[in-house]
Amino acid sequence: MPKFVIIGLGNFGFYLAKSLSEEGKEVIAVDHNKERVQRVQDFCSYAVAGDATDKSILESIGIKKEDAVIVSLGDSISASVLVTLYLKDLDIENIYVKIISEDHGRVLEKIGAREIIFPERDLAKKVAKTLSSPNLIDYLPLTEEYTVVEIAAPKEFIGKTLAELKLRNKFNISILAVRGLIPETITLNPGGTFTVKDSDILLVLGKPDDIDKIKG
């Protein structure tokens, strides 16, 4: 089973290790700070106090090709670049790097990071979406064109079937699932006869501009 290797145990790395452990995943953690390593030990199968920019440290923890490695080294751009290069030397494919700027991310993508993580930017976008659309609960960008959002059912939808609403024709959006709160239910890929209730949460797929038309 693939492991999750977290390099850097600041706040982001710590909570990531804790959350992955709570999901039942095997976690290995590395940080140069012994106190940080001790703090995270309960959530890890293996925690190492060492400098990840020393290639021998990375080799010693037995990272395998199929493992996911998350690099979270704070403001040290040079360290994250060097560690990513070493991981590529070890033929690791699933490399995720926490970045501090767009340019930092561009560099890491060019040297082989599979995905960049920019928490401040992504959180700001999420907060902005929530503040500007009161019935928006959550959203997940899939591509530059399409996103999935979770929204409370607009009042105009209440009591109508999906066939009556004609969402695909009118707004070019699709309802992937409906989560009922009273009673608690989940309906995947609801059909045209599904009637929307005021306690329903809709999981909607579409382009952001199209989804904005129904969010109110």
| 139 pLDDT tier (thresholds 50, 70, 90) | low
CATH hierarchy code of domain 122-215: 3.30.70.1450
% of the chain with per-residue pLDDT over 90? 52
Is pLDDT at 148 greater than 90 in this prediction?
no
Which conformational region is residue 62 in: left (phi greater than 0), alpha (psi within -120 to 50 degrees), or beta?
left
For residues 143 and 60, the model is more confident at: 60
Q: pLDDT tens, 169-184?
A: 999 999 988 988 888 8
Candidate from 76-80, 85-89, 127-131 with smallest mean pLDDT: 127-131
The arithmetic mean of pLDDT across residues 29-34, rounded, is 94
Q: Are 122 and 110 in contact (CB under 8 A)?
A: no
Integer angstrom CA distances of residue 89 from 58, 119, 137, 192: 11, 27, 42, 52
| Beta carbons within 10 angstroms of residue 186's beta carbon | 10
- CATH of 4-117 among 1.20.140.10, 3.90.1150.10, 3.40.50.720, 3.40.718.10: 3.40.50.720
State residue 144's pLDDT score.
Answer: 63
Is pLDDT at 136 greater than 80 in this prediction?
no
Q: pLDDT tens, 34-68?
A: 999 999 999 999 899 999 999 999 999 889 888 99
State residue 194's pLDDT score.
Answer: 94
In three-state secondary structure terms, 140 is strand
If 0-12 CB within 10 Å is exposed, 13-18 middle and 19+ buried, where does residue 193 land? exposed
Candidate from 75-89, 109-123, 181-195 with smallest mean pLDDT: 109-123
Domain ranges of the chain: 4-117, 122-215
In three-state secondary structure terms, 182 is coil
Is pLDDT at 120 greater than 80 in this prediction?
no
Integer angstrom CA distances of residue 86 from 7, 74, 122, 184: 12, 18, 27, 48
State residue 75's pLDDT score.
Answer: 83
State residue 157's pLDDT score.
Answer: 93
